[in-house]
Structure 1
């Protein structure tokens, strides 16, 4: 009877030992499998993020294609209206840009059949538009201007451009859909990653439990006394308290890191502004050392623009979301900086009227540069011979319409000013305005002086979404 009882106890112990070993093996397998899955999913996320970046580049090239078409049409119309060969230069440059942008799009969507099909349709429409523009220019060049103007006044060109815009919008919307799908894939991958981490945690918990019960059994086998078990319990509780304290410390550290990052973001723009101000000072120093009037003028213009960009960065104050800012407060600060940089002998007052507008930090910097260029041009050209005057700067929002307006009561616009070309400042203003989907317009101000209006439709739509 005693031998039978001993055998039964031994068999029970063997079964418990085997069960614990099996639990340990399964737990280790879960941990290793979850770790491998996590690494695989992380690599998948990297690939998906690369696809997202590619999608944004495709969208940019599509927009560059439509802008080039608009520029080509502008050059065509300018030539037909004036017969000035200077308009043919921008027209040919725009045609070359159209071809390059289209080829870039073909390369980027080579592995996307649906987008390749859309590009084929766009290619036919682009070719028709190019043929229409080339025919009208050829007719005008050969002395058949009335025929060219008849084509221009017909709805053919406008219909082609509207069709092109619609086709490119469909192309961009298709890319937007692909972007949404890729974001959904990233989200699904993230969820799978969370599941893998939870599986690893479950395996770790199971492994910890198995090891703990095994250790407890061994201790009970060796010690067989209540005092030792109590000591082990106290040690375990102390360990839990230490882990809890460590977790609290880690949470506090994470909060401090978040606050530090917020401060760093605010400080980065200020540092960039200070660095650009240093560059401006170096340009000023070089200007004072040169004797060439042309070089001094170029250095003075460069210093002014660097100072304007430095002011835009230094004056940028982000909101609580660390992504947006108040356009009125920001532009007021930029104008104040320009007032302070004005020589004391210049009696030029600048009055402002800015509507409150919440915009992104990136758009704010661009808007500040446009404002700096407009005010600098007015101060430099509107009041020759240090004459006194006034400048009015306004930012007005009416529904989806946002306009930046700068007026002066100076000497006005010269009659020979070239609206299409202009100087470097005009080119900068025009290029930056196109980022918001607008173009600057120049006009004489009633009572004397000049008015420059920059429409910013994209900024208006963004403000309404905010």
Structure 2
């Protein structure tokens, strides 16, 4: 059968139109899913912020109570300082809580109840301190022994715990919605991609079939015109040109399927440029003589600019949404600032920052010296080792005081290994890998936390060019080994 160019064009255009429609539908769905994802992400971030301010408020009240108890037991002013610091921080913490829950009026009564109970607790703390300072230590101790302060503290924990539950529920719903949206995006992209691939394969099959017909026709011509060299040469040249046209046409079709959005944006710019010429034409006095002048002018001056503006606004908004989502995920990727750090002085500073907690628990921090000096980012190192020490105190064993040992176990060429060892409750074998996963926690959930600490630590260590490993025995303690380069390797 001789090839039919018109049929080829119709078939190819049909496949191209189907592929373009699939791409357009994919773009619309992506725009909608991006909008949903942005809204869900904002809700998750708000819930995390609410959880953070609640944690800080509870920690500050606990610090105030700890300082009060230490001062009443020892009478030393150094225990009064944490109390005074916490008292000065409570009002800002309360303001942060109110601001975080401002858009949730249904939580208003609960927040007011927390505020009221904290005021009562602060009054009880101030009363005991005042009595102790007036020389009435027995009266102050009687107030403590009355368990009124303990009851208030328990009530504060319960109220904040209930607020935690509401926030955690919103977090879970947001994360689940994100998972659903991501699954929908994957499924729709897979379906659309499969459809586009099928249309491309259909177009290629049509072109291949047409090419085969051309080759067959060329062979027939050669057989029928063996003695007519000039005619054969002419037909061969025609076939060559036809093949080249088919190849160029196949390239154009595949290019259009891969980059429709680029073409839309380019054509939009061309339409705007052409529109200026048409708008200038409508100002010609002779143009108004036409019967359809008013309708044409309305279309040129109003309808077309609005349509073009909608296309450009939509593409720009979609681009803006994608950039906004990328910006949210990149938040926290701070530019590292290399500086020379003496690890001995650095760990002394880390120990000083938690010494009051260690002392109140009857424990100690042992820093084995000498320690090397490295080039690193101080803030990142403070977050890494501050988190490890904080976990050692938070998850200490209930039957013994905490002992934290920080030592340098090796100094290999170009790297140092630092171990943070504790005698806490340890981590079970089944949980040793999951503790580094985001939002995953191990053991009894009797401490406040979001399950992001160790995941953040591992990310920071790897960004510094190092690695972190862990060994642990349940009921005996945990050891984290942090391997850091001697010279900071800033990874893009």
Give the TM-score category using the shorter length: 0.3 to 0.5
Per the normalisation by structure 1, the TM-score is: 0.47
Per the normalisation by structure 2, the TM-score is: 0.45
